[in-house]
Amino acid sequence: MVWLMKIVVLDGHVLNPGDLDWSALQALGSCEIHDRTPADQIVARATGADVVLTNKCPLSAETIAQLPGLKFIGVLATGYNVVDVAAAKTRGIAVSNVPIYGTKSVAQHVFALILEHTQHVGAHAAAVQAGRWSRNPDWCFWDSPLVELDGRVLGIVGYGRIGQAVSDLGRAFGMQVIVHSRSAKPGVEQVGLDELFQRSDVVSLHCPLTPETEGLVNAARLGLMKRTALLVNTGRGPLVVEADLAATLNAGLIGGAALDVLSTEPPKPDNPLPTAKNCLVTPHLAWATHAARSRLLNTVVANVRAFIDGSPQNVVN
């Protein structure tokens, strides 16, 4: 170790609410770990730090300018839009992220959402708990149509690691997979975006959020979908125009939506989607299995160690 590092974690609670171990990071230097940091305390807590680790606490150009000793920023996630990477680069500050950790967990959650929509497991289990099966005149009952996935069309928008993992699971269920991707992908049927929305029984979003993809799911594109189709979004909330999706759902023009991300998180009380018809919303937890968070923390530690050793890894600027 070149010098005694001061490491500050600004918002570590979501990564490690207490079921993981910080000791490997603490072994790298003097370590201050905060569960959460209000915006007006970021500079005070980060002052004097060589290394700052952040998940959602923003490190703007103005903030970075007030931290003259800062040498390395580690993002506790894949997305790094919370950091002004250009300002960091101007200062010679390396910024690293964690590019791979939750692929299998997110893909698993995609199918948890799909299966909840097709089987309504939660609702039927609640009905049994409420005594409806005991009072039922027949030996079984169901409140909603039960849908078999075999032979249905799964449309995947974005075919990176997570999109490919979702594709593998879809094929295991017997689904026909079609893909819209920016680059050619061997061994898969690639189609235009509008064709994908027209043909798919399930549309699953896995593309990055860019100026080109923001709002790609809008009223016009939703109007192309089958009336029985399901939209799944575990990517980024702003891929969807939320008012358009809510209106489409409430009018019964598609079969449903299952979302793990929203444009603002936590959602504002007036967000129309949590109360929209046939809309299932989970609180951005697809990434958060114990296994995935363990991989994430291990990579964060490896990123800091690599920086100390003079060979930063996973550098995004």
Residue numbers annotated as active site = 236, 265, 284
Contacts 24+ apart (CB under 8 A), 66-73: 67/43, 70/46, 71/307, 72/96, 72/304, 72/307, 72/312
* 181: number of Cβ within 10 Å: 18
Residue with the two structure tokens 């939506």: 257
**HSE-up (13 A, CA, CB side) for residue 56:** 11
Classify residue 173 by its DSSP letter: T
Residue type, 308: I
Backbone angles phi, psi at 290, to 5 degrees: -60, -40
